[in-house]
Amino acid sequence: MTRIITITNQKGGVGKTTTAVHLAHGLALKGKKVLLVDLDAQAQAGIALHVPPADGAFYLLTMEVKRSATAFIREQMAEVRPNWQLLPASPRLSGVEHALPSPSVSWLAESLGRFEGAYDYVILDTAPTIGRLQVLAIWAADWVIIPAAPEPLSANSIQKVLRTMRSLKDEQAWQGGLFGILPTMYRERVREHATTLAEYRRHFGDALVLSPIHLAARLAECPAFGQTVFEHAPNDRAADEYRRLVNTVLKAR
């Protein structure tokens, strides 16, 4: 069975793409078959892996579920590492909402259904807005991960994602759920960070606040090399922290 995991937060620069890339690679390193779909017109996932922007995600969203279309979409994938395919994004994604072949909230889920059985995990990286595409990506998800910097104002953007999730559950029979809030760029010496993390735990519950990813120079360097931290600095704390997230996902059911 394929698990679909959507990484989302309407805020930019909170580590969504970094998390999507590292979750994808970490799962692939564990022998899982992984597809990472970049749903952000800025194509940052590809850029981080030195894969040029391309229309793969655009075709996933606009082509009917037919064998010939599916074969064509597969051709747009980049095999970035063993077990790990990337379906890249491009500026064509902006405005794609208006070119979808179906108005249904389940359209992206249906479109991904064409790959059923081919992957153990499909990771959806999203753009920093809450538009139609994010809603489709959340509806397609079994699990949602919300990366968030531990700053007081982040709680607002988390709440917005949670509200969207709640209304999808109540009104659109969405079956998925929150996997967790992932505190990113965490610095324990910054009092505000420690306080905010404690508040998250109190407010959202310990179980839904994942162990934080610290601010890590090694992580920020990765895109320059087209590598993940598992390659660039496998002994860095950030590598351990993302491995831990991967293990949490592997254990979940």
Q: Which residues of the shown chain bind ligand ADP in the complex (CB under 6 A)? A: 12-18, 44, 128, 184-185, 213, 215-216, 219-220, 223
Write down the least CB distance from residue 131 to ligand ADP, Å: 15
Residue 83 zone, left/alpha/beta (φ > 0; ψ -120 to 50; rest)? left
**Partner from Mg ion, ligand ADP, none contacting 36, C-beta within 5 to 8 A by type:** none
Toward ligand ADP, which CB reaches closer, 6 or 18? Answer: 18
**Partner from ligand ADP, Mg ion, none contacting 27, C-beta within 5 to 8 A by type:** none
Toward ligand ADP, which CB reaches closer, 169 or 243? Answer: 243
Residue 31 zone, left/alpha/beta (φ > 0; ψ -120 to 50; rest)? left
Write down the least CB distance from residue 85 to Mg ion, Å: 18
Closest residue by Cα to residue 56 from 86, 33, 34, 26: 86
Write down the least CB distance from residue 206 to ligand ADP, Å: 21
Sole binder of Mg ion in the list 4, 7, 10, 16 (CB under 5 A): 16
Write down the least CB distance from residue 8 to Mg ion, Å: 10
**Partner from ligand ADP, Mg ion, none contacting 76, C-beta within 5 to 8 A by type:** none
Restricting to residues 30-59, which ones interact with Mg ion according to CB under 5 A?
44
Closest residue to Mg ion using C-beta atoms: 17
DSSP characters for 51-88? ----SHHHHHHHS-S-HHHHHHHHHT-EEEETTEEEE-
Cα–Cα distance for residue pair 239/91, rounded to 1 Å: 31
Write down the least CB distance from residue 88 to ligand ADP, Å: 15
Toward Mg ion, which CB reaches closer, 58 or 114? Answer: 58
Q: Dihedral sign, CA of 149, 155, 160, 165?
A: positive
Cα–Cα distance for residue pair 163/140, rounded to 1 Å: 16
Write down the least CB distance from residue 128 to ligand ADP, Å: 6
Q: How far is CA 200 from CA 148, 151, 196, in A?
A: 10, 10, 6
- Please report whether residue 17 would count as binding Mg ion according to CB under 5 A: yes
- Contacting residues toward Mg ion, per CB under 5 A: 16-17, 44
